[in-house]
Amino acid sequence: MPTQPIAGVILAGGQGRRLGGVDKASSLLGGKPLIEHVIARVRPQVCRLIINASGDPDRFSGFGLPVVADVIDGFAGPLAGVLTGLEWVSTHHPEAAWLASFAVDTPFLPLDLVDRLAEAVAREDADIACARSAERTHPVVALWRVRLIDDLRHALIEEDIHKIDRWTARHHIVHVDFAPVSVNGDAFDPFFNINRPEDLIEAGRIMKLSQ
């Protein structure tokens, strides 16, 4: 496993179009904002955690985490959030050689997620580790070498590359498979993500099963 500290960023900059244009991070699940569930699962896994989001940062003031807006203007997609996290870590936490990124709409992330991604990059001497489940990759749930920062900045600004897979193909990436989680005879994907109102209902059902 990497011996250097691993920082983390929750990517909360999406526009939530399929959720009716509401702020995903603040959508309620089990009476709590969606982002609160994500923080609870990932905060113990990293040495420092930040929130990448646009708009009024005060809406996250109760969580005690730095809120950092995209370093690229406009809605440039999740790669811009990754770059924002890398630049923040490089400036404020330079001893961290790795950054883990998490999607704000995935409230059931594995509690051993970062450890398993870190084991994979160490074993393969990779630059990026990406989570995968049910043969589906989750490109924003990943571990990134901080030294990728210059190449990513150039790709976004000079080459106008915003598709994650197009950029990660340049680097040594390893995928880490995670099995479904079984609870009371039911099984669900730990990377279940919330895009639509009906997904919130299903997430509530999963949460009740897990209690």
- The per-residue pLDDT for range 154-171, each reduced to its tens digit, is 999 999 999 999 999 999
Which whole number is the average pLDDT over 128-140? 96
Which whole number is the average pLDDT over 118-141? 97
Which whole number is the average pLDDT over 178-194? 92
Is the pLDDT confidence value at 109 over 90?
A: yes
Measured CA to CA, the distance from residue 173 to residue 194 in angstroms comes to 26
pTM: 0.94
Measured CA to CA, the distance from residue 123 to residue 86 in angstroms comes to 22
pLDDT of residue 125: 97
Which whole number is the average pLDDT over 46-74? 93
Which whole number is the average pLDDT over 20-43? 91
Is the pLDDT confidence value at 145 over 90?
A: yes
Which whole number is the average pLDDT over 98-113? 97
Q: For residues 128 and 154, is the Cβ–Cβ distance under 8 A?
A: no
Q: Band of the pLDDT at 121, cuts 50, 70, 90? A: very high
pLDDT of residue 184: 79
Residues of the chain with pLDDT > 70, as a percent, come to: 94
Is the pLDDT confidence value at 50 over 80?
A: yes
Domain spans of the chain?
6-210
CATH 3.40.50.12780 for domain 6-210: no
Is the pLDDT confidence value at 37 over 80?
A: yes
Measured CA to CA, the distance from residue 130 to residue 200 in angstroms comes to 25
Q: List beta partners, residue 68.
A: 52
Residue indicated by tokens 């811009």:
80
